[in-house]
Structure 1
């Protein structure tokens, strides 16, 4: 019988009392995966014609989506 594991991400030594965040980084990771599944193929197609724009599109999940979502949750 197999068990499905939910990905948990920890960010320690933050400003909160217990010095660890779990909810924000975990939801940020899930948002990263969803946006990356859409934006990486689109970025790869755009990269064929405009290299800089394609790289920016492919980097957006890591540089924009994950940090914004992870910071939105204080715990």
Structure 2
């Protein structure tokens, strides 16, 4: 049991490296997702009041763009 309190994400079954498991990419992707969400979700909520579709796109950006790009960029 690890009591570090740090989220570690593991993605197995990938073909991007010989081990077929990724730890660094998904973990850094999660950190980037949280950092982007802290900024973009409040902004998206304010924009949502006036323009619903634009607000939804802003709030979805961390999950649809930031996390996948960071996770794919780091193959280990």
TM-score bin (small chain): over 0.9
Partner of 1:5: 5
- Aligned residue in 2 for 1:69: 70
Q: How does 1:36-51 map to 2 (within 5 A)?
A: 36-51=37-52
Partner deviation per Cα, 1:4-25 (whole Å, 9 max, x = no partner): 4221001110112111100000
State the alpha-carbon separation in 2 of the partners of residues 27 and 7 from structure 1: 10
Quote the RMSD (CA, aligned, Å). 0.9
1:45-70 deviation per Cα after TM superposition (whole angstroms, max 9, x unaligned): 00000000000000000000000001
Q: What is the distance in 2 between the residues matched to 1:54 and 1:13?
A: 35
- Residue 17 of structure 1: aligned partner: 18
What stretches of structure 2 of length at least 5 have no aligned partner?
none
User: SS of the counterpart of 1:25?
Assistant: helix
TM-score (norm 2): 0.92
How many residues are matched? 73
Question: Any stretches of 5+ residues in structure 1 without a counterpart?
Answer: none
